[in-house]
């Protein structure tokens, strides 16, 4: 056998190995770029990926703001509610006619 017949398979192996390494590198760079862009986009929505898994962040709201919003909703609900047939014995007595002035029917 000649030296050329021994070298050609070795050169062919290195060419195939180089092409495979190049394709692998391109796939790796594209995948890491997509992962980085997706991670940045998810961080804007308070979602992050780490070694422990996915973490979802909650927007912080102060206790005072929370109480103000809750109280505001309760006051709105109270103001918009109505009890059509309810008359209290303790308040709204000025709207009732006096009992002596009621007309009698024969």
> pLDDT class for 20, splitting at 50, 70, 90?
very high
- What does pTM read for this prediction? 0.45
pLDDT tens for residues 45-83?
887 777 788 777 777 778 888 889 899 988 888 887 776
Per-residue model confidence (pLDDT) at position 54: 79
Residue 95 has pLDDT above 60, yes or no: no
Greater confidence (99 vs 30) lies with 30
Name 47's Cβ contacts closer than 8 Å, sequence gap at least 6. 54, 55, 56, 57
How many whole angstroms separate alpha carbon 20 and alpha carbon 89?
Answer: 89
**7 dihedral zone (left: phi>0; alpha: psi -120 to 50; beta):** alpha
């Amino acid at each position: 056998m000649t030296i050329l017949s021994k070298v050609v398979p070795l050169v062919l192996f290195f060419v195939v190995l180089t092409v495979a390494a190049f394709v692998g590198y391109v796939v790796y760079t594209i995948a890491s770029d997509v992962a980085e862009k997706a991670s940045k986009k998810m961080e804007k929505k308070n979602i992050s990926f780490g070694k422990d898994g996915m973490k979802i962040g909650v927007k912080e709201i102060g206790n005072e703001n929370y109480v103000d919003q809750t109280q505001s909703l309760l006051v709105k609900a109270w103001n918009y509610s109505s009890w059509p047939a309810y008359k209290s014995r303790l308040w709204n007595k000025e709207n009732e006619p006096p009992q002596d002035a009621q007309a009698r029917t024969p």
